[in-house]
Amino acid sequence: MLELQSLLLRPWTAAPGRGPRAGAARAVVDPATGRPLGLVRVTAASGPWWRRLTRPALEVYETEDEALLFSVHCAWLLPFRWEVRDAEDRRLGTLRSSELLAARRAMRAVHDLVTWSHAEAGTLVRFSPELDGKPLAKMVGLAAVLTADG
């Protein structure tokens, strides 16, 4: 999935019998062919009771075998911040909500490395050529789009 220059995030679909966002998912497809590439899921926090008070996490999977690529969690001690973690739970980066809101209001760009726009089919995400061969940077960029795009 991350080897492509652009991705199409389909609209969110709700899980049956759950709240509006709990268990929701959104498909990730190749915008040129429509071929399924992956899936983004909203997961409820688990563990101690205080973790359940945080916002749900986002998990991004690759379609071939539904392998977890990365996840995005609300940083517990840092309000209005999101942590991006790889499949082994190592922190890749931290996103601040204020910067994401500014990007949403401005050009829908995250430092010109990742841009996104809305269409009827979903959200089109484009990666700068500077990110070629840098899947970890693309993960953080895609996480920024997912948290800013709602």
pLDDT in tens, 36-59: 999 999 987 655 655 556 567 899
Average pLDDT of span 5-21: 77
Put the strands of the sheet holding 122-127 in their side by side order: 91-96, 81-86, 67-74, 57-62, 36-43, 25-29, 6-9, 122-127, 114-119, 109-110
| pLDDT band, residue 102 (cuts 50/70/90) | very low
What is the model's pLDDT at position 96?
Answer: 76
- Predicted confidence (pLDDT) at residue 19 exceeds the cutoff of 70: no
